Amino acid sequence: MSSHLLSVDSLSRDYVEHLMQLAGRMEPFAQRRKVTRVLEGAVLGNLFFEASTRTRISFHAAFSRLGGSVCDTTGFTFSSMAKGESLYDTSRVMGGYVDAVVLRHPDQGAVAEFAEATRVPVINGGDGPGEHPSQALLDLYTIEKEFARLGKRLEGAHFLLTGDLKHGRTVHSLIKLLSLFGPLRITLVSPPGLEMPRHLIDLVTSRGHRVEQRESLANDFGDLDVIYTTRIQKERFTDEMSETFAGISQDFIVDRAFLDQRCSPTTIVMHPLPRDSRPGANDLNVDLNGDPRLAIFRQADNGIPMRMAIFANLLQVEEYIERDAQDVRWFVPPTFGVDDRTL
């Protein structure tokens, strides 16, 4: 394991299981019952050159909840890259200022290129349509927690991945990560032209998993354990694609009717978010809000313990996490959302 987190390719099953356990140790801090200062004095550089709410804020919050502080920059406009500075120079300079970097960049491979110029740990916060490894780790952590609650096992589970599987970096990282476990059954449903890249299907199949591709949600999928929906990534479309996909059929929407007709009470619904909730959008329907099968907000919450675990591991402070932990003194509500179900 290098000191960077750039792609799921470099992760072994043992290492992933270790991170899952470490995330479990972070729960008292993530749920605001305890405070730890294990990264006191450390500084994170949070560099986001593409839109982000969850990834940027949750990395920031995770580092802060470990006692560290954060410097950040968003968009090219306010960074020296707008003046033509290279990734190499930016990286070397950042290495002199901070103890870890989270970078999101619109170009696939740019985060790996950035990481070549520094020895401080670099985390890929999303590189164009490439990968989003910390999202996949928190997704797996969510699946494990939800399955533990439902008395299910990962072995033999059936996953439906749907939406823009061509450009969705979260599903690229997730399918690779899932393929370390199992054997699993994975069904892929996407609008024609937005299918999962062939090399990823081949990789997963070569590891002994059963992968099927379908063209619409109007199918009998059998028992589904997890539905993982994704947003159509219009910002990655070429002009030609924008025309072709202007009227993507509404048949790709996961909603309450789909769940009630085709799934069981123990099927969970995930989405990396954001979901497009504008009228007419082709995304996970808001009519599922308040349904306990909708795990999307629990999934987003899990970004904090998993990202704390990633920092604690990369910065090598795991053994000190609980040392001198204190009780939280401020007001913490019983649930974070107004319609959260207590499970």
What is the nearest approach in angstroms of ligand ASP to the Cβ of residue 33?
28
DSSP type of residue 84: T
Single residue of 56, 60, 65, 132 touching ligand ASP by CB under 6 A = 132
All residues at 6 or more sequence positions from 243 whose CB lies less than 8 Å from its CB, including other chains: none
For ligand ASP, the closer of residues 65 and 132 by Cβ is 132
Near ligand ASP by CB under 6 A: residue from 231, 262, 293, 298: 231
Task: Select 170 or 285, whichever has its Cβ closest to ligand ASP.
Answer: 170
60 binds ligand ASP (CB under 6 A): no
- Supply the minimum distance, in Å, between the C-beta of residue 89 and ligand ASP: 26
Closest by CA to 117, choosing from 133, 103, 128, is 103
Cα angle 272, 135, 307 (rounded to 5 degrees) comes to: 125
- Out of 7, 90, 91, 170, point to the residue binding ligand ASP (CB under 6 A): 170
Q: What residues from 254 to 273 belong to the interface with ligand ASP (CB under 6 A)?
A: 272
Q: How far is the CB of 134 from ligand ASP (least distance, A)?
A: 10
Any contact of residue 166 with ligand ASP (CB under 6 A)? no
Question: At which residue do the structure tokens 């290129």 appear?
Answer: 113
Name which of 74, 120, 125, 113 is nearest 97 in CA terms.
120
Rounded Cα distance, 304 and 302, in Å: 5
Contacts of 151 (CB under 8 A, 6+ apart): none
Residue 332 CB, shortest distance to ligand ASP, in Å, is 26
- Binding flag, residue 169, ligand ASP (CB under 6 A): yes
Return the C-alpha torsion angle 58, 64, 66, 71, nearest 10: 100
Minimum separation from the CB atom of position 302 to ligand ASP (A) = 14
Which residues contact ligand ASP (rule: CB under 6 A)?
A: 126, 132, 169-170, 231, 272
